[in-house]
Amino acid sequence: MKKRIGIAGLYHETNTFSQQPTGLELFRSAYWLEERAIIEEYRGAHHELSGVIEVLENTEGFELVPVFYASATPSGIVTREAYEALIGRLFELLDRNGPYDGLILLPHGAGVTEDFPDMDGHWMQLVRERVGPDVPITGTLDPHANVSPLMVEATNGLFPYQTNPHIDQARVGRAAAHLMVEMLRDHRKFHHKLIQLPLAISIEQQYTSESPCQDLLAYLKELKSKYGLYELSLLLGFPYADVQELGSAFIAISEQPLQDQCERELLDYMFRNLDSFNGQKLTIQDWLPRLPSLEKPVLLLDMGDNVGGGSSAQSTHLLEALDAANVSKTFICIYDPVAVRFLQEVGETPANLKIGETGYEIMPERFRLVDGHFRELTPKHGGFVNYNMGDTAIVHTKNGQTVMLTSRRTVPFSLQQLLAYDLQPDAFDYIVAKGVNAPIAAYRDVCKHLVKVDTPGDTSADMTRFNFRRRRVPLFPFERPVRKDFGSA
């Protein structure tokens, strides 16, 4: 008889400093997939679900049982009503499709609700209680997870993506599925350990193709080989969640208990390199004198309005600064359903238009309306295929700027956001992407320079600007921890 493996996930990256609560409608309008719809959406794509599906559909003796997957664009705290509806439907479908020989769970790892700061630890523990202690559970994580002991205790092995931008999601899905196969078919048993660090790596420093993270990942590979570990993974952490688990961490999976010496070496490395995990935090005023000398087009990463980190997507801070400096030929995307609706109703180009959260006034020269749908078929951050920006207006201003106004907050993870509407990247001198590292996968082949700009907003690169009440102490960069206070030195 085939082993029945259920797959289920609740996925949200919660910015507790955002004033936009995450209600049920945000999940309903994003990804709410039940049973076979999960496979129809993700088979052959580049998501972690795609990797799980690939392995289990092609491994003899195993049956994939899709249960439930819900995800919403990063935003504020998940409301009580939304969370109750989500777990209610999860357990209704879990019960209906059981029993299971194993489960693969797909949390984000940085979810927060009104009642549960550790949302993912809470629902994963409920799943564990539901199926009992003997059913193996593996899973995946976004590396921006603030991982809790509850998440690790609920599972037998968790695999975070190890690239940022996240282009290895299918790989970690396959890894979670392979571990499940090895436990059930080959009867292998594993130890699973979380090592929390007294450090929160700055969002600016979380690009894994450059130092310091590139060097750290290479070091983890060395230690994995040296100590014969099944897996040793980095969690970058999510800086915009006021939770006790805030910070960076490692997860080790091994057939023997993790040696103390391995943990000591990990901590020694982190303390030796502590300062490298903070960033420069350069503003647009710091960058303006340097911009003319950079080969075009230049990607301006608007770190303070990082949509993938839960920001409003409505900041005009960079547009205003560029206009004031007479810097033109810029593309920027701003969430403003009110402005889109106005342009739909007016039917002709207005003399002026107020946009964004501050009502910044632009002077349109012409505009066109599009439906806001596009597809991304190559591996990019997030692993998404289908995008929907809602009704969208593309406005060309008299200042020479191109402003895309959308009716839905949209993450800048795909170059198709421009190409699908005949906007050629090389026609611009500057492209503003409201993100930090995630947009790099989409734009690095067309933008000659990537400029990280520390702008104001709910995702400011300097996490010390936010008022945390629940975080651990000490935690760098808020405080400087002392090595002797953490593990055996």
With cut-offs at 50, 70 and 90, classify the pLDDT of residue 312. Answer: very high
Domain 3-277 belongs to what topology?
Rossmann fold (3.40.50)
Q: How do residues 388-409 score in pLDDT, each as one tens digit?
A: 999 999 999 999 999 999 999 9
User: Is the pLDDT reported for residue 382 higher than 80?
Assistant: no
Percent of the chain with pLDDT strictly greater than 90 = 96
With cut-offs at 50, 70 and 90, classify the pLDDT of residue 488. Answer: low
Prediction pTM value: 0.94
Task: Provide the residue type at 127 as one letter.
Answer: V
User: Is the pLDDT reported for residue 256 higher than 70?
Assistant: yes
Report pLDDT for 112. 98
Report pLDDT for 454. 96
All structural domains of the chain with their residue ranges: 3-277, 284-461
Report pLDDT for 278. 95
Report pLDDT for 315. 97
Report pLDDT for 380. 79
- What b/e sequence results for 40-68 when a residue is b if at least 16 CB atoms lie within 10 Å of its CB, and e otherwise? ebbeebbbbbbbbbbbbeebeebebbbbb
Report pLDDT for 333. 98
With cut-offs at 50, 70 and 90, classify the pLDDT of residue 30. Answer: very high
Q: How do residues 183-234 score in pLDDT, each as one tens digit?
A: 999 999 999 999 999 999 999 999 999 999 999 999 999 999 999 999 999 9
Q: How do residues 122-179 score in pLDDT, each as one tens digit?
A: 999 999 999 999 999 999 999 999 999 999 999 999 999 999 999 999 999 999 999 9
Q: How do residues 326-379 score in pLDDT, each as one tens digit?
A: 999 999 999 999 999 999 999 899 999 999 999 999 999 999 999 999 999 888
User: Is the pLDDT reported for residue 411 higher than 70?
Assistant: yes
Report pLDDT for 489. 54
